[in-house]
Each structure stands twice: as C-alpha cells, then as structure tokens.
Chains A and B, each alone.
Chain A
Amino acid sequence: MLSLIVRRVLIGVPTILGVTVLLFLALRVLPGDPVSAVTAGAPTTPEAQEALRLQFGLDQPLWLQYLKFVGDALTLDLGTSYASRQPVLTMIGQQIGPTLQLAVAAAAVSAVAGILLGTVAAVWRNRWPDALIRTLSLVGTAMPSFWVGLILLMLFSFTLPLFPATGSGGVRALVLPALALGLSAAGTVTRLVRNSMLELMGETFVDALYAKGLTRGQVVVGHVLRNAIIPTVTIVGLQLGALIAGAVVVETVFARRGIGQMLVQGVSTSDFPVIQGVVLVIAVLYVLINIVVDVSYSVIDPRIRVAVGKG
C-alpha cells in the first residue's frame, strides 16, 4: 500500500513540474503584457512602466524567474498579485473553499444521478426507460455546462424564484451551480454504470445468485451494483479534477466566488502570479485526486492491490 502511494507521488511530481514549466513558458512567450494591463487607463510614463517591470522581476532572464517561482512555491509563497498587491496564496485561501464545495457537490450530483439512471437503464435494458435514459445522457454530455446554468437560472431563479441567482453563501446558492456542472458529467457516469452492470449481469456468479433463490432486486442492488461501483468511483474521482477546472465557467455564470473567477480575472489582466498560482493549485489538486482514486480503489478491491503488489 505504502509503496503504491510513494510510486504515485513520484510520478505526480514531474507532472506538476511539467505543468509549471509549460505554463511559465506559455505566459511569457505569448503576447500579453502585465505592465500595460496593470496601468491600463491610468496615465503613465515609460519610467514608471520600467519601475513596475523591475518590481515584478520581469527584467530577469526567464530561467531565473522560473527558478525563483518554483523555489518560492516550495516554501508556499506564490508571489504577489500585480493587480491587488495581495499575496496570491492568501487570495487562493479565501477563494478555494467555494470552488471545492461546488466541485464536490457537482461530483455528488454526477455520481448519484449516474448510478441511479445507469442502474435503471441496465435493469430495463432495451425498453423505454433505457431508451429515454440513453437519450438523456447523450443530451447531457452534449450540453455546454454554462448553458445548462443559464437555463437553470431562467427556470428556477427568474421564473420560479426557488433559488438565488447569484452569490456563494449557503446551500441554496450551491444547488443550481452544482446541477449545472454535475449534470453534464452525469451522462458519462450513467453510460459507464449501465455498461458495466450489463457486462456483470452476463457473468456466471449472477446465475448462481438467481439459482440460490435471490430476488432480482437483491441480485441487482446487492451484487451487480456493488461490483459496478469500482469503475464508477474511478470515473467520478477523475471527473472531480475536471470539475474543478469546469468551475471556471460555471462560477462566471452564477457570479460565485472561487478560484475559477479569480483565474478569469487574472487572465483578463495578465496577472501572472495569480494565473500561475491558481493553475498550480488546480494541477496539484488534480494529481492528488488521481492518487487518492488509485489508492482508494485498491482499498475497495483487494484484487487490484494484490496485482499492483506483484507488478
């Protein structure tokens, strides 16, 4: 178990380093000047601009800037925002809570809806519930999440004033954004649950269970679904990382606080430290989630643990 975790972490570190290198290069090679973005609108002299450039450390060679960034990041210093002049880590600390809430709630929506619908579709295979659910999951995957958000807003906030349209306080403000983000992810889970349940239903152990005299409900819920949970955990776990990134768009729709909003703001003002910080945090979360998923399914299914141990 421990060796599995260590190995996953060792693979994760170069991944994160790779992300930082690419990000760093992309930000500095592509056009977009933070100094002119910071001073936008305000009258400034070339000297003042030069002073800002010095202050931001943008006059230094690229590799030195990068080393400084990585070194600082290791000591949990993500630099200071060009725009707000606040430490980026503090800003992320204030904003990450709502984003994580949103991503976890969306993952829960995806898992619950996906498992329920997938099970129903598998049990009533090739009949109308199956056809309906398959169509829904196709539609769900195709819809852009920000559009789902807008439609939910119109229906349940403007037409029927059930939920607040904007804001990030409380559970009620979380419902619509979580649905918007989670429903499109649910389509994938539905299909996965349906397919793996159908595959399992053809196995001999299911025949044995029926022969033992178990009812259909007992077999489906107690045995088939239980076995289908493992791939589901994997996919929902992997989705969680993508959902954190997807929060960028949904947070904008609902004007929610969060690191997604922070990133969009940072991007629009070429605020390098903010962009780097948020992206780094997302990458680290992504890698961590992958590790947790890997480890957790080796806990759920001892066969995986044994196979990895031997491998």
Chain B
Amino acid sequence: MAITTTPALPVSLAGRVPGLRRLRGHSGVTWVAAVWVLLLLLAAVAPGLLASDDPTRLRPSLVLMPPGEGVFGTDQYGRDLYTLMVHGTRSALLIGVCSTVLGLVVGSAIGLVAGYAGGWVDMLVGRLLDVLMAFPGILTALLIAASLGPSTRNLVLAVGLALVPVFARVARGQVMVIRSRLFVEAARSNGFSAFRILWRHVLPNSLAPVVVLGTINVGTSIVLAASLSFLGLGPRNEVPDWGQVLSTGQPYMATAWWITTIAGLVLTLTVIAISLLGDSLRDRLEV
C-alpha cells in the first residue's frame, strides 16, 4: 500500500505516535501547556489522586470562605473549591472532547462524501453548509440544547452538531485537493470501489488539517458548553462541572469573587493550553 503514504500524510499520523522527544524543539510555553493538559488528564482519570476529599461534601459551617480555607476557598454550600474544580475536570473535558469528536466525525463524513462525489451532491451540500455557516454556532447550540433539555448528553449533542459545518467545510476543501491527486486516480483505475478509495486513500490523506482543527476546537467546545451552562442549559445534577461552578457562583459574585474568578481562570488557561498544543501539532504536521 505504498500509495497511501504520500507526503501529504506525515509519518507521525500514519502509525507512530509522536514521541515526547519531538517536543524538545518547541518553546518552553508549549511545555507548560503540555504539563497543564497532562495534569488535567490526570484530574479527569483519577481525581482522587489530586484531591482526596469528597467534592460533594457540604460544610454549612464553611460557606463562602475565601482562598486560604483550602487552596481556592469554598463555595456557597461550603464545598471545597479546589476539590470541586479537580473533580469537575472530567465532565468539562468529556463534554469538550465528545462534542468535538461528534462534530469531527459527522462533519468529515459529510465533507468527504460531498467533496468526493462532486456534481449536484456537492453543490447541494455546499449551499447547505453556507447556510449553516451563516448562522452563528452559539445560536445553533442554544436552540438544540434548549429543545433537548438540560443534561450532559444533550449539551454534547448541541455543541457537537453546531460544529458539524465547520469540520465539513474543512474536510470538503481538503478532499477536493486530494481527489485529483495521482494516487487516487491510480486507485480508481485499479477498479476499487468508491468506498474503499474514500476510506483507504482519501480519508487518511485529508485528516491532518481536520485533526489540528479538532484539537484546537476542544477548547472552544468547552467554552461553548460553559456558556450554555451559564444560560441555564447545562446539566443539573450532582456531578461537579466547571461550567456549573462558574454559573452557580455568579449570584455570590459581590461577596465571593473567588468562585467565578478561579473557575473562569482554569477554563481560560485550559483553552489557551489546548490551542497552543494544537498550534504545535499544526507546525509538526505542516498543515
């Protein structure tokens, strides 16, 4: 299958996981970002390691205590803010990653098929994408989240579907370049089915920009989900979540600045770290 590994696909994507050694060439900032994201992953997988307390433990005697009580202070129920943020990482990252994956998979599939098929299919899809792109993502997500009702699953659906046109557009553009390449023509003259050509030849070679966009987008998704949470469309359950901390802290802002400030800071730092890593991925994949 020599024809599948054309220069358009960097070696690292074809199989070898880019090792940490490759990071050495990057600036210190990228390192800090990588450490931050690793910490978040640790917090998501094993929150107990970083904060052993029970995040839902209510302590009526310690309501709205400033930082100093614990690391970050406490919230309106006396819950420890640091513990809450550590345990809320999983939900925030899950929402960000799942919605991005949803948008990426559905969007790429649409873009792939439209770009490869060409003709009236592509025209129709192209126009539809224009329509969707002409519509701000936050409104799409708001409408979907509101119709489905507040829950984590629906938040993922809303944010993910709002992302579909973005990914479809990038994938379609990429496919239109790839489809005219010699190796695709070779595969076609070999009599391979359209599905096989798409799956084995066009898709792997169109992935790089989509993956980069996806990486950067995880941060955007987290923010979008937090905004929807803030508008009252987030999950309303016992599971701790950054967006939830941020919005429930709002009424206490005048007296307890630390709740919204710290939750928002963590959110912002995460978005920055993810987008820095995405940029460095872009550099490495040369897209």
Contact = CB atoms under 8 A, between A and B. Distances in A.
Contacts of A300: none
B253 interface: yes
A22 B131 contact: yes
A279 B253 contact: no
Nearest to B260: A150
Given A151-B264, A153-B253, A268-B146, A22 B134 contact: no
B5 interface: no
B63 interface: no
Contact of A252 (B130, B131, B226, B231): B231
Contact of A151 (B261, B267, B272): B261
Interface string A255-284: 000000001100110100001000100110
Given A22-B131, A249-B231, A282 B139 contact: yes
Nearest to A158: B254
A244 B250 CA distance: 23
B248 to A, nearest CB: 12
Given A267-B142, A268-B146, A283 B253 contact: no
A143 interface: yes
Contacts of A147: 226, 246, 260, 264, 267-268
Contacts of B127: 14, 18
B143 A267 contact: yes
A264 to B, nearest CB: 6
Contacts of A267: 142-143, 146
Contact of B138 (A142, A246, A283): A246
Interface of A: 14-15, 18-19, 22-23, 26-27, 30-32, 138-139, 141-147, 150-151, 153-154, 158, 241-242, 244-246, 248-249, 252, 263-264, 267-268, 270, 275, 279, 282-283, 286-287, 290
A244 B139 CA distance: 10
Contacts of A279: 139, 143
Contacts of A143: 264, 268, 271
B138 A26 contact: no
B250 A150 contact: yes
A22 B232 CA distance: 24
Contacts of B271: 142-143
Given A15-B130, A151-B261, A270-B147, 6 more contacts: A139-B272, A144-B226, A263-B142, A268-B146, A268-B232, A270-B146
Contact of B147 (A30, A145, A246): A30
Nearest to A150: B260
Contacts of A286: 134-136
Contacts of A248: 138-139, 142, 231
A23 B143 contact: yes
B227 interface: yes
28 contacts: A14-B127, A14-B131, A19-B134, A22-B132, A23-B143, A27-B147, A30-B144, A31-B147, A138-B275, A138-B276, A141-B275, A142-B268, A142-B275, A144-B226, A144-B264, A145-B227, A147-B226, A150-B253, A154-B253, A154-B254, A154-B261, A248-B138, A248-B139, A249-B231, A268-B232, A270-B147, A282-B139, A283-B135
Nearest to A286: B134
B113 interface: no
Contact of A245 (B136, B146, B272, B276): B136
Interface string B245-278: 0100010011001001100100110011001100
B31 to A, nearest CB: 16
A224 to B, nearest CB: 26
Interface residues of B, number: 38
B231 A264 contact: yes
A279 B219 CA distance: 26
A142 B219 contact: yes
Nearest to B243: A144
A150 B245 CA distance: 13
Contacts of A146: 227, 230
A249 B233 CA distance: 12
Contacts of A242: 136
Interface string B137-152: 0110011101111000
A246 B261 CA distance: 21
A263 B136 CA distance: 14
A287 to B, nearest CB: 7
A51 B232 CA distance: 30
Contact of B136 (A15, A144, A241): A241
A249 B146 CA distance: 14
A255 to B, nearest CB: 11
Contact of A19 (B135, B138, B272, B275): B135
Given A27-B143, A279-B139, A142 B149 contact: no
B128 interface: yes
Contact of A31 (B148, B223, B230, B276): B148
A158 B268 contact: no
A249 B267 CA distance: 17
A118 to B, nearest CB: 19
A266 to B, nearest CB: 9
Given A241-B136, A282-B139, A287-B134, A249 B227 contact: yes
A144 B229 CA distance: 12
